[in-house]
Structure 1
Amino acid sequence: MESKKHQLKIHPEYFQAICEGEKTFEIRRNDRDYQVGDELFLNEFDPEKQKYTGRREKVIVSYITDYAQVEDYIVMAIIFD
């Protein structure tokens, strides 16, 4: 199966934690049928200004689980490409 590319909004505090290597996962509603190997393009979005900041990172989904999550949500382990 070919990996998919996903454009995602992410708030600044979470984006920064990913950039610094502190946050190595994303919790999302599985409304896009995410799969291991998919590319996530994380686009920093400032909710107070209601606009994108221009900062962007690409990560790859390395593992997925729905253990102990709300219905339809998953945890995706992510790594830098």
Structure 2
Amino acid sequence: MNAGKLLTEYSQQHDLKILSCYFDALKSECKTFEIRKNSDKGFQKGDIVTFKELKSSHSTGSSLLTGESLTAIITYVTNYEQKDDYVVFSFQLVSYKE
């Protein structure tokens, strides 16, 4: 499915970096939610999120993007019982890029 075709006039596109261990859980669909700071993003139901895998190097202490990504549509957003300016959102995966 082409994420570009999923955007409506009301939805936003968000690019998010995510560590490999969490990216793998997303890819296997074991993890179907994300907790993120929302003050600068404004996550809403219907928004498109592209998760970009970030691999950290223990030897150098740096992190590099791997080029792999997952695209998803946000299906639910709540700030219930979260720290200030944080939300939990659930999503449905729509595409994977190696």
Q: TM-score, normalised by structure 2?
A: 0.78
Unaligned runs of 5+ in 1: none
Q: Deviations over 1:27-73 (max 9, x none)?
A: 00002111100000000011324210111010110000111111100
Pair 1:70-2:83 in alignment: yes
Structure 2 gaps of 5+ residues are 1-8
- Which residue pairs with 1:45 in the alignment? 54
> What's 1:3 paired with?
11
> What count of residue pairs does the alignment treat as equivalent?
81
Is 1:12 aligned to residue 20 of structure 2?
yes
Q: Once superposed, what is the RMSD of the aligned Cα atoms?
A: 1.1
Q: Partner amino acid for 2:19?
A: H
Distance in structure 2 (CA, Å) of the matches to 1:41 and 1:15 = 11
CA–CA separation in structure 2 for the residues paired with 1:21 and 1:57: 11
TM-score of the aligned structures, taking structure 1 as reference length: 0.94
